[in-house]
Chains A and B, each alone.
Chain A
Amino acid sequence: MRVVAFSVAILAFANVQFGVFARTAGGGGGQAGQDRAQRLYPALQRPSGDPDLIARGRVLYGINCRACHGLDLRGGDLGGPNLLRSQLVLRDEAGSLMGPVIRDGLSGPGGSAMPPQSLSDEDIRAVVEYIHSILASASRQGGPPSGEEVTLDILVGDVTAGQAYFAARCSSCHSTTGDLQGIGTRIPEAQELQNSWVRGGMLNTVRPPITVTVTQPSGERVEGRLERLNDFLVVLTQVDGRHRSFSREDGAPLVEINDPMAAHREMLPVYSDTDIHNVTAYLATLK
């Protein structure tokens, strides 16, 4: 639904073992990086609850609610719904909607039922405050709060097959004893290693520049680093630092682009996911 792409920071953990990266289950970036003053999401606009009450609610939730609704409120083994996306919970004001359900139970759609809970009004208030405190930690774009760390092994590829693929498709430009020597050590986190080689460099890598040769009708050739290109204009910086720009019209002047990254782009429609996973597994062995 969201239109604008946003990049998600890759969490690299210094102490993770080779080939495995650890991260929290929620993913998608939490609120920590956001300006809390903006508080554009409604769950963030509620006043923070009493910490003691929330702590008490947490214990009571574990005793009375967890089996059905899950430790993380996202639904449990006994079939209770995910409370973090429950429309009733989201609309609740200080127990106005949750309170009666906890106290009296609920007949849900399809005949499922929540039994009444024998909790005092004060205990119900504590549970409600606890639930709201978790809602307030939700990720943007509806993602769940950051949960427990999970360990995901993305190195599922075949090293030997990856080596063969590398020899066939990559070695004309790259060398495991040259530019990629020790790449598995230099980029220890496997997901970042994979992103980097598919993209053609880490995000902060200074890539070799795109160069351009402009041949004017007079035959004069001007070369340099490409600054801008569209259908009407080419802008470049010559090796001596001089700025040049040329209008483009009806195919003149002749513009020849040399993009060192073109081979990476051209491979994108060619790779299979198995190829990618195999090459990553192979590169990870280059210590």
Chain B
Amino acid sequence: MTLKPLIFVIVLLVVSPSSLAQEGGLDPASLLEPLEKSWLTYSGDYSGRRYSRLTQVTTDNVHSLTLAWTRQLDTGMPALEGSNAPTFIGGEGTGEFSIGAQRIKGSILQVDDLLYVTAPDHVWALDVRDGGERWHYFWKTRGGPHIGNRGAALWHDSLIFETVDNYLVSLDARTGEERWHTEIASFEEQYFSTMAPIVVGDNLLVGTGNDLDAPGFLQSFDPETGELRWKFYTVPMSEDDPGFDTWPSLDAARHGGGQVWVPGSYDPETNYYIFGTGNPTPGYTGVARRGDNLFTCTLIAVDVDTGEMAWHFQTSPHDTHDWDSAQTPILIDGVIDGVPRKLVSTAARNGYFFTIDRVTGEHIVTSRYGATSNWASHVRENGSPNPHPAKEAIIPGALVSPVEGGVANWQPPAFNPDTGLFYTQENNGFNLLYLTDPDPRGSMGLGGKDRITVGSGGNALSAIDYRTGETTWRHAWPIGGGGGAGVLTTAGGLVFTGDGSGNFVAFDAANGGLLWHTRIGNISNAPQTYQVDGRQHVLVAAGGRLFSFVMY
């Protein structure tokens, strides 16, 4: 791993951080509190559980949840005339790209009287009581794939987000005016950025994406100034780096992928930021990168202050299906064999569920939660599923489950400590996967294959016991349902998600009983909850429209 702590030192020499540090706004220490009245960071709190302690909405009264307001966001190019709310325009692009309508596919921050909503190139501040626009910021892009934005981070009175064309942008959270922007990855190397930055103390953790065989990395920036503090590469960048023996050459490793594109979780006791990494590249042709390809498709714990890796566990050695393991891991204080343990669990895109000791990295549980996942030959002694070579892309075609989107994807799972259950979408499609580029040098990026969807084994919402990996209850969606929504769970005994058939639904967290639904269109993010005027609200996005529900 190549670390770059020097810049941090330089910053200290030039200006004392205390002279710049903001005093007002959100105290970063409040992010340490378990999720309750506000939604202050990507997962609501650092645990990744998406478990709210709010209890006004319960299994008994969820049927009385009612709409407080709804608002359609205009995700096209902003019209400067005719808007009452201020619009600010920034960016290094020419403004020539019409990026089209964008969907809300990330977390919305809620603090005091405002909501902060993002879509690629857009940030809005909306009034929490009626969705009215307070300000709008639009970024003129240089380009890149506009597939989504996962949200923003709050640092005192700054709102910080990533742009597709790899800038970190800091706005005045009160007014929407830009404070600064700084480049975080090379546009020319075809990086693109979607992640919600995560504030931990005075570190701002930032990830990026790439499909062109470039190395993945997690970076820490000074949230006040945008100066780089450290950069942690997820693949070996020199022959002395750990994991180099899992690659055939340094050239393969340095083009090996492992992008960090979904936020992780943070454990204050160990000061570890725990996150999953993306797939190795080239994605579908592993011939020129034989080996396990560390640290791609790996759960990694890094010390937030140094960027040094504490432990790792590979959830998908030598992936050849574009199944990253970037899914947000969930910190669980649980009991294994009668002994209290500090754990972390993740449901990976490849259809396998894992529970790991988050202090030591010791493996505890591996199970297959994707009902039809058929790509692994066996589970290795260390707990990693072993890929079967016959299920790679082959010239005559291999029947592979899941499809490229995986059993789960970026859509956040949830964990409820009252039930001990881990809730995740479970998608069981089948592809015929053909190798179209048998070149012994391998292909590049996600090229070299044809993938043809031929059917589905059915999709479900699954509730997994973190101690065993076994599914406690499973709600099979009717024909054509399932897919694109994340999950929220609450101390009211509820699980909220979308059914992929146009309904926003609530389950009994304990047994999967369906309690409530409303037809608002397909949910495009994970539902969230917070309290305003003493009343619990539930907020969710369906495409470009927000719905705020309330319990009176």
Contact = CB atoms under 8 A, between A and B. Distances in A.
B25 interface: no
A2 B250 contact: no
B379 interface: no
A231 B498 CA distance: 12
Interface of B (DSSP majority class): loop
A143 B239 contact: no
A42 B190 contact: yes
A45 B439 contact: no
Given A10-B450, A87-B189, A195-B452, A230 B212 contact: no
A34 B254 CA distance: 30
Interface string B249-288: 1110011010101000000000000000011011100000
A50 B143 CA distance: 24
Contact of A276 (B146, B250, B399): B399
A34 B516 CA distance: 43
A75 B287 CA distance: 14
Given A1-B259, A1-B322, A269-B457, A27 B441 contact: no
Nearest to B257: A1
Given A82-B444, A84-B444, A152 B438 contact: yes
Given A230-B481, A231-B514, A82 B441 contact: yes
Interface string A94-109: 0000000000000001
A238 to B, nearest CB: 19
Which interface residue of B250, B409, B448, B519 has the most chain A CB atoms within 10 A? B448
Interface string B164-200: 0000000000000000000000111110000000000
Interface string A259-279: 101001100110101001100
Nearest to B405: A5
Interface stretch (B332-340, B429-437, B543-551): B429-437
Contacts of A25: 436-437, 439
A133 to B, nearest CB: 16
Interface residues of B, number: 88
A39 B143 contact: yes
B383 interface: no
B207 to A, nearest CB: 12
B80 interface: no
Interface stretch (A59-67, A117-125, A153-161, A213-221): A153-161
A82 B252 CA distance: 10
Contact of B324 (A1, A82, A85, A194): A1
A2 B445 CA distance: 11
Contacts of A75: 441
Contact of A28 (B278, B403, B447, B454): B447
A4 B441 contact: no
Chain A interface, DSSP helix/strand/loop, else mixed: loop
B448 A3 contact: no
Contacts of B242: none
A60 to B, nearest CB: 23
B145 interface: yes
Contacts of A231: 477-478, 481, 499, 501, 503, 505, 514, 517
Contacts of B477: 230-231
B417 interface: no
B346 interface: no
Contacts of B212: 85, 90, 142
A141 to B, nearest CB: 4
A268 B399 contact: yes
Contacts of A45: 142-143
A242 interface: no
Interface in B374-419: 374, 390, 394-399, 401, 403-405, 409-410
Given A231-B478, A232-B503, A142 B211 contact: yes
Given A27-B449, A229-B479, A277-B396, A1 B144 contact: no
B76 interface: no
17 contacts: A26-B443, A28-B446, A42-B190, A43-B188, A45-B142, A74-B444, A84-B444, A85-B255, A150-B438, A152-B436, A153-B396, A154-B397, A191-B434, A226-B479, A268-B455, A269-B401, A271-B399
Interface of B: 97, 142-148, 186-190, 209-214, 238-239, 249-251, 254-255, 257, 259, 261, 278-279, 281-283, 322, 324, 372, 374, 390, 394-399, 401, 403-405, 409-410, 430, 432, 434-439, 441, 443-457, 477-481, 499, 501-503, 505, 514, 517, 519
Given A1-B322, A75-B441, A195-B432, 4 more contacts: A1-B261, A1-B324, A40-B145, A264-B455
